[in-house]
Structure 1
Amino acid sequence: MSGRRTYPLEVTDLGVRLDGREVLSAAAVSAAGGEWLAVVGPNGAGKSTLLKAMMGLLPHTGEVVVGGVRVRDLKPRERARLIAYAPQSPSLPPDMTVFDYTLLGRTPYIPYLGRESAADREIAGAVLERLDLAGFAARPLAHMSGGERQRVVLARALAQQAPVLLLDEPTTALDLGHQQQVLELVDRLRAGDGLTVVTTLHDLSLAGQYADALLLLAGGRVVASGSPAQVLTEPLLSRHFGARVRVDAEEDGRPLVRLLRPDDR
């Protein structure tokens, strides 16, 4: 890992109510500086809500602390320099180019009424190169496929150069090759730049393969947390996903989740 300072993340007693209904209750999240934490759980468990609340996009109770700093005490520009967030299904301006949308990630560093610098444009261009999007820089977002747009959303978040990265289902709509490309890039950033990464992931085997730690949400509550092997167990997955699974250990000890067919024993 580089000598760059890492920023641990601590979330305590986080609660969210939407339309009078409690959708997240007393959630506790902990990620060491430079660690990758994957949040998993069934549909409707509150995974996306958790990330939005951590970013300050939803009213919530409880505290979010990054590197010893309470997020609620920060102004929006200060928060954006500390935490970057890539939503699962953002609203993208159809006529904006890929490069200009990525450049929006530099907004926290651009003075009010000012313009982006040559360094800002260089950072945006470098991010597009890393995500295999440089050839699309001048293309309008409306002319990008779903998977390509997903990578552009990630590009904007990475352009912020924040030490904490929140990614909501970063592999949605990506084919197998680009799933691997994005996850490997995130892993390199975590290891090389010391980023603290929190992702929601639908694919449990991918979560177990890439993340250092897992957090299992169900019914708006944290029901398990720990190493991938501690969280991805047959009893927990059967209870909270309602699925028949077999969990095997790979050579490195990481769990591999497999659905059982009716004739499997």
Structure 2
Amino acid sequence: MSRVEARGLGVVLGGRAVLAGVDLRADAGEWLAVIGANGAGKSTLLRALAGLLPHSGEVLVDGTPVRGLRPRERARLLAYAPQTPALPGDMTVFDYALLGRTPYIPHLGRESRADREVTGSVLERLDLTALAGRTLGHLSGGERQRVVLARALTQRASVLLLDEPTTALDLGHQQQVLELLDRLRLADGLTVVTTLHDLSVAGQYADRMTLVADGGAAATGTPEQVLTEELIGEHFDARVRVVAGTGGRPQVHLERP
């Protein structure tokens, strides 16, 4: 298990400061949900954590700055899955998941038997073995999301950065993906950082939350501390009622004005 944190993280895109001075922490084995209104910088934050965007400040894994690491070394610590990944329609499920082993394959080399065994094991755990030979263009939305997760898991990184892992999924498939992710997190001791737009869903699964607004971290804490009617009203411009759900976790309900 690994702890990931950002200290004073800032990102400038197109001459505009999207993020400035963001502090963030996900302890070892924890699920941190990053929430915020559209355009707040949630996806930018994850991409910066993954080392995919130039940024100021520091990103650390277990106290070690990752800025000086080579991309292959960083990929062994942090696995990132974008919200809308490019999925080549003619590539098989197995070959796409195998791409997660790239940080371990020598330059100009080929994957080893061990790489293929790791990939096969991950597909089995995600109930994708029967689809291993199917091309990505012939998968349902829920199957594609599991394949994207499979590629991230084959990296064997201790920190998963997932941008909206349930985007475009219906309610049933959302629950399947989130429950699967939580089981894998607990079984493997993974540290998970996700962006989630559904506040009630985020409150059900996350251990801690960070609310991003105005380029910074407006609030950080437990779901009960962050998902308050006052904070949601201020930063989402929405009138809501927050009630205690299963296990006391907050559920957010829209209220008509």
Q: Pairwise mapping of residues 40-51 of structure 1 onto structure 2 (< 5 A)?
A: 40-51=35-46
Paired residue type of 2:19: L
Asked if the contact 2:6/2:58 (under 8 Å) is kept, the reply is: yes
State the 1:251 CA deviation.
Answer: 4.5
* 2:27 matches 1:32: yes
Offset, 1:219: 2.4
Which residue is equivalent to 1:260? 255
Moved more, 106-115 or 241-250: 106-115
What is the CA distance between 1:220 and its match in structure 2? 1.9
Is residue 2:88 matched to residue 1:93?
yes
Counterpart selection for 1:21 from 2, 16, 19: 16
Contact 1:44/1:219 (<8 A) preserved: no
Q: Which residue of structure 1 aligns with residue 140 of structure 2?
A: 145
Q: TM-score, normalised by structure 1?
A: 0.93
Uncovered stretches (5+) of structure 1, i.e. residues with no partner: 1-5
Q: Is the 8 A contact 1:247 1:257 kept in 2?
A: yes
Choose which of 106, 110, 116 in structure 2 pairs with 1:121. 116
Percent identity, aligned pairs only, is: 70
- One-letter amino acid of the structure 2 residue matched with residue 169 of structure 1: E
Q: Is the 8 A contact 2:145 2:177 kept in 1?
A: no
User: How many angstroms does 1:152 deviate by?
Assistant: 1.5
2:179: which partner in 1? 184
Residue from 238, 244, 247 that aligns with 2:239: 244
The normalised TM-score by structure 2 is 0.96
Selected match of 1:80 from 53, 75, 80: 75
Match of 2:124, as an amino acid?
E
| Aligned residue runs from structure 1 range 1-20, under 5 A | 6-20=1-15
The superposition leaves residues 121-180 of structure 1 with CA deviations (integer Å, 9 ceiling, x where unpaired) of 122122222223222211222222333322211110011110011000001122222222
Question: How far does residue 15 in structure 1 lie from its aligned partner after superposition?
Answer: 0.4
> Offset at 1:23?
0.7
Q: Indicate whether 1:132 and 2:127 are aligned.
A: yes
Q: Cα offset for 1:194? A: 1.3
Cα shift readout 1:194-246 (whole Å, capped 9, x = no counterpart): 11110000111111111100000112211000000000000000111111110
Match for 1:192: what amino acid?
Answer: A
1:215-254 equivalences under 5 Å are 215-254=210-249
Q: Which residue of 2 aligns with 1:3?
A: none
> What is the CA distance between 1:109 and its match in structure 2?
1.2
Q: Is the 8 A contact 2:203 2:227 kept in 1?
A: yes
Q: Residue 147 of structure 1 contacts residue 173 of structure 1 at CA under 8 Å; is this kept in 2?
A: no
Separation in structure 2 between the aligned mates of residue 188 and residue 127 of structure 1, nearest angstrom: 13
- Which whole-Å CA distance do the structure 1 matches of 2:196 and 2:128 have between them? 23
Question: Does the residue aligned with 1:51 lie in a helix, a strand or coil?
Answer: helix
Counterpart of 2:247 in 1: which secondary structure? coil
| 2:100 paired residue among 100, 105, 121 | 105
Q: Residue 65 of structure 1 is aligned with which of 52, 57, 60?
A: 60
- Is the Cα contact below 8 Å between 1:14 and 1:63 reproduced in 2? yes
